[in-house]
Structure 1
């Protein structure tokens, strides 16, 4: 019997491998035959990625696109959508060019297409990989129905500085959680077969280290050791590669003094040779050209550097198109380098089935039926509610009753365009559900909803202009701050409870949206203070694209619900949670500091030689501040519920094990409250003594469970030597024998612990 099982297992492994080899052989033969017919100009043309001009985030819009397609100077187009428009452009490529090579069409489909899900930082707070994957699957279905076959997502940059605007676009501070999300997103976009017309090619970005820019300023310099790169920042990119991501995008920052887009070690040595990536590398928006300002040479020089580093496709800048032939003639690049880049672009198109059917994504019937459907919006509503993080709920202020009078106040209370958040380039801003609309729909006729704007986004009108770009205005009210406040207080005194919809506007985070002050804007804070003085219960519904500084709010506001930017169904999802139809279960994926002076602040830091003793606020000649404790306001993994959970002590199957063995850690979690709720049970490990210094805690596992009131569940985690591995000073991935601590709890701070040893 054992022999039969072995044979079946070998057949199970061998047949797919044989089929894959045959498929690769067919692709290689097809591409080789095609490339033998191509001129040098046609090969270089394949390396050129232009914008269709519908939705761009840079300062350049490609011109003369149609004429360039006819000349064979376009390999791909992004920011063009709809089956009709894409079919028209594709027809030019496959009927009016010599070799009839199809175009690949991309778009920034970041957290949804027409149906928008929570911003990625919010989505990461679900800690539910099935929901993460499902959101990407729906996004791929909608985008592909509109003619697209490529997305510039997922962004997996580890970010530990909330001043950086693009923290909103990633998955927070932790490499383990980030890696799980990277895999789920790639699987959701690409599915199990890229030839299916409802899947799209994913593009992991930004490779690499973009989230570690100095001072939290976008596009800024990054400088860190290889040990830190490998252990803390590279894992999510590698997870995406291991999951089969088809393409990789370069980052704007420099690494080791070389801009990433020209970094041969990064793309050739690490990505291709060490990790085995065989797909296409594309630059970010004009990243080749921007190396001129980095001080790397003129356009011809920087274009040659990028190609030699391993870059295959140049986004918008057209440095490849205009200089590579000259560089080839002058011996500054080789024919093989151009051929290798061209081959990878053509392979990407082959893998998408475009050579088989260039119009496989151009189906107007699909577009009419599958985009922004009722079913998709229903799922968006449910997923959004799972992303909300309850930060405070004193005296059971929440949930709000569906009766009496509710005052809804704030500049974000009756606004649709800001609900999808950043990177919602494809959505119709008139369609998202506002908070006001959502409360009225969910409460029905049982409650009276009164509304007042209360304040503008900020006192500074110029700042508001910068913070409400891309059609996401809040409609600045020209009345005085005093008049707006009076109107709000007039309805507040009539109410039983006040819901204050405050925080950031959507475009206060995202690309080129760094902030040095990450608190609630000035005039909104004054509004909140005045509302609290009425003596009515106040619920702060916080809109945010980053961790914010909320010490005063935590001290004074009875209830705080962080809703991030929830997407198309924002208002209904918020109402579901406010009224208790959904019990919040989100957990933070990024630490909230007390103030900006603590930044960068993250849970998996290392100890100094003079750590502050546990429970201490300050001690001279220790690593601390004079004016504030080392503690975060809200730790990584934190999030409350309308119920409570208790944890038993941890039980280990053994407190020692060998590298070829495993142990099991078990804890019993009990819903000690009165209603059903979900809890994210989190596992952390600490290596007590290593050949290099190790973090005080590292996330190594989590499970999201649902418990009825009074119900208990045993949760088990299996730990192997693989979970204990790290990159040592020689960049070898090792598990070192020695003593470890294991922690299980409701967040990174509040945990049970036990010791074990790897022999």
Structure 2
């Protein structure tokens, strides 16, 4: 049963004399097979809805030329009019709602939804998101019935990578550090996305990124990871296995990096043996965008010498769909597919197999059937509905984690006379939506939420600090003019229909560099020119608060260049020294690729030192300090110029220095402070834990997030969110970020003291656990056992409790490991018997050879509202005889 890691060496180059540029010519000379054209007097078999999707797909693919097939293997698949095949763009993001398709309901970021520990609610969210995907498809369905970019039904989510290191910038996209919790939340989201219709898939969910992928971002296109056999089976694969074998995910995305020397998208071990043979996966594999190019690129993994070799290696290993990446000039490879087949690097049957999987998926989505027969109850208007926004609010409430509440400062049951809301995230849109997001129509910031929830209180607001620098504000119209003598106020605005100041140009004078891009403006650009007058002397920082790329010049000096960005720009600003009253030439360039929303020119003045925030705090009865991070400073391959950050990842877990300094100044006023953290990864708020009486973890809470925060502060509900990841005291306690060994990582293998443990979260009421029982005190290895515990709400108010079950296994290297959880609601004084089923997999452990098994000996089952050793739990013993080896 030992896992085979052989065959991981580099492929040798094949000298077949075909270069990619020459292969382009092949597309112009199609070779039509005998079956490629259907007889004119018969209906094609693939249109027969009485046949299985697999039969229909096989017939359809058999009618295509090799050149047509090659084009269908890219994410932007063109139409084939002669066969009635509509175009289809496979690229769609749905991490926590429909992303990048304009207005949509935005739910809390994935890490926040994981903090709810509420799998049934997670499935409801997935169902609502899939409804919105269907609506977005109908809203802009292509005339031929196909789907455009971000308007399809193939969803590249959930991300079930393990958040193994809290410094990873993309950890916000995951469900945390525990394989079991990740698997359960992933399964629930997949069930919601794909639905339970007997004939059609509502959407297709994609479990990603398979496998062993969790930073660093700066090296993801070159990383070669060699996990131990134990860590691969114990940590990196279980959530993927669960989403495939139990969740039924119909798509899996392979990774950028290599595993054991082989690129993930060309890995026979991962794709052929593990995914398809061991787990029985029948769906399709899509590459991460640009990952197939990584297979052969000299500046990347360079596993093969040529592009056709790389494409052949990927398709033969089990990759079916090649996503290109315009950001890195990584193409979708049609010419290389043709070249690979004609050079004998792979048989055409390999191409056919991939295409049959892809067209089976499109048929199962109903994209080849009469539209009125496929989910007819969903209309093009069924997105951003009141019901969906209410669901987003509920999930945001469920995700909130009360980390500390000294002296019962919370809830603020009696409205304070004056409330000071302070901090860079207090009135921030960015921190509501995280990354991979849609556009909420009425986003509720924390400031909005507090004002609405405490209407009788005087609410003061001062940002006081930026995330990683001084506080910013919009550049006022009064500081701008369109000509050197300021005879004309405003700026000259030039709008172009093309992305690089090309196409149709519209010119006019506007008050400022502001724009509200719509979904129709994709690939447009804008330029503002004029003059700026400084109101005071000193160093200014300017940026364009944008969803896409931008540049700013002062007196022909380029002070900030965020033009070539990934999914979104950072908050990079340009520093420049200006003199009061002096006029400077200004130029701002902006490009619109796929985002929507209001964008504007902002600056920080030399006098932005936080004094206004301290003054507001002194006037208040209570201070709500809203700080943390943003998806503009932690995320996917980004540029952040600040201490503690690198390439989208973090080098420090501390609260950024400008915020920490301001928080200490606010604390020194002597006023009670509630610290609200909004972030996608843990923060080492050790100073705050010692000095601030109440701390709330709010994550990136979605479009209704501010209302959820205010409801918690006021006590409208009792918080019950639990941490899905450990909050460490310092990054200094962690192993090197690039080391994928699990020793010293996550709650299961970390041995030092922590700030807040995995599973932690406080409540406004009290729960007591009693009378744990098991259906049998002794079982044979491989058998299941039922465990029950009575939970009582002994506090004075109603509330939710997350009941957690951990298993301590004989001889296991890991700490007691999560093996069950459920979220329940108990009214004050109510008690309930909670029962868990423990099967062999939940009782199993992994040995050094990667073999998963149940071993004989004495087990301890811990039950409580948190992790044993950190929370009060009850326990019972379980004896297991014999040994049972489980399949991979």
> Is the 1:267–1:311 Cα contact (8 Å) retained in structure 2?
yes
Shift of 1:718: 3.5
In structure 2, the residue matched to 1:686 is 808
Residue matched to 1:236: 239
Are 2:389 and 1:377 equivalent residues in the alignment? Answer: yes
Does structure 1 conserve the Cα–Cα contact (< 8 Å) formed by 2:265 and 2:291? Answer: yes
Secondary structure, aligned partner of 2:677: strand
Cα distance between partner residues in 2 of 1:127 and 1:348? 31
* Most deviating of 716-725 and 277-286: 716-725
Task: Tell me by how many angstroms 1:720 deviates.
Answer: 4.1
CA contact (8 A) 2:217 2:636 kept: no
Deviates more, 1:542-551 or 1:595-604: 595-604
1:644 CA drift (Å) = 2.4
Residue 126 of structure 1 corresponds to 116
| 1:517-666 aligned within 5 A | 517-599=652-734, 602-606=745-749, 630-648=752-770, 650-659=772-781, 662-666=784-788
CA–CA distance in structure 1, aligned partners of residues 784 and 426 of structure 2: 52
- 1:413 matched to 2:426? The reply is yes
Distance 1:549 1:472 in 2: 33
Query: CA 1:330–1:514 in 2, change beyond 3 Å: closer, same or farther?
Result: same
Aligned to 1:341: 354
Specify whether residues 143 and 718 from structure 1 end up closer, same or farther in structure 2 by C-alpha distance, changes over 3 A only.
closer
- Return closer, same or farther for 1:661/1:416 CA change in 2, 3 Å cut-off: closer
Q: CA RMSD in A?
A: 2.8
Partners in 2 of 1:517 and 1:360 — Cα distance?
Answer: 54
Find the aligned partners of 2:193 and 2:856 in 1 and give their Cα distance. 40
In 2 relative to 1, CA 215–757 (structure 1 residues): closer, same or farther, beyond 3 Å?
Answer: farther
Q: Which runs of 5+ in 2 are unaligned?
A: 1-47, 99-103, 138-151, 325-329, 471-540, 546-561, 563-568, 573-594, 638-647, 736-743, 882-888
Corresponding residue of 1:289: 293
Report the Cα distance in structure 2 between the residues aligned to 1:635 and 1:594, rounded to whole angstroms.
Answer: 10
Task: Deviation per CA, 1:87-139: give whole Å up to 9, x if none.
Answer: xxxxxx26x45553552544111101210111000100100011111111111
What is the CA-CA distance between 1:510 and the residue it aligns to?
A: 2.6
**SS of the residue 2:836 aligns to:** strand
**TM-superposed deviation, 1:735:** 1.7
Going by fraction, where is helix more abundant, 1 or 2? 1
The Cα shift of 1:459 comes to 2.2
Q: 2:823 aligns with which of 699, 704, 720?
A: 704
1:673 maps to what in 2? Answer: 795
The 2-side partners of 1:603 and 1:406 are apart by 38
Q: How does 1:59-458 map to 2 (within 5 A)?
A: 74=77, 93=79, 96-103=81-88, 105-113=90-98, 114-147=104-137, 148-193=152-197, 199-211=202-214, 213=215, 218-219=220-221, 220-242=223-245, 243-291=247-295, 292=297, 293-296=300-303, 297-316=305-324, 317-357=330-370, 366-368=379-381, 370-400=382-412, 401-424=414-437, 426-428=438-440, 431-444=442-455, 446-458=456-468
The CA deviation string for residues 669-720 of structure 1, in whole angstroms up to 9 with x for no partner, is 332332212111111112113xxx4412111111212223333333333434
Contact kept, 8 Å, 1:604 with 1:697, in 2: the verdict is no
Equivalent pairs counted in the alignment come to: 666
Secondary structure of 1:324 counterpart: helix
Q: Does 1:741 align with 2:744?
A: no
175 and 365 in structure 1: CA distance in 2 versus 1, 3 angstrom threshold: closer
Superposed CA deviations along residues 422-461 of structure 1, whole A, max 9, x for unmatched, are 111x325x631111111112222x2221111111222286
Structure 2 residue matching 1:675: 3-state secondary structure: coil
Supply the distance in 2 between the matched residues of 1:514 and 1:525 (Cα, whole angstroms): 19
User: Residues 240-288 of structure 1, C-alpha deviation per residue, up to 9 Å, x if partnerless?
Assistant: 1122211111111210111101111111111111111111111111111
1:313-338 per-position Cα deviation (integer Å, ceiling 9, x unaligned)? 11123353021111111111111111
After TM superposition, the score normalised by the length of structure 1 is 0.82
Higher strand share: 2
Q: Does 1:30 align with 2:56?
A: yes
Residue of structure 1 equivalent to 2:571: 468
Match of 2:33 in 1: none
Q: Distance in 1 between matches of 2:52 and 2:838?
A: 42
> Which of 586, 603, 623 is the equivalent residue of 1:498?
623
Please report how far the alpha carbon of residue 237 of structure 1 lies from its aligned counterpart in structure 2 after TM superposition.
0.9
Q: Show CA shifts across 1:380-429 (max 9, x none).
A: 111101101110011111112334111111111122243111111x325x
Match of 1:340, SS state, is helix
C-alpha contact (below 8 Å) 1:680/1:705 kept by paired residues: yes
State the TM-score, normalized to the length of structure 2.
0.71
**Paired residues of 2:421 and 2:461 also in contact (CA < 8 A):** yes
Q: What is the match of residue 835 of structure 2? A: 716
The alpha-carbon distance between structure 1 residues 694 and 205, as it changes in their structure 2 partners (threshold 3 A), is same
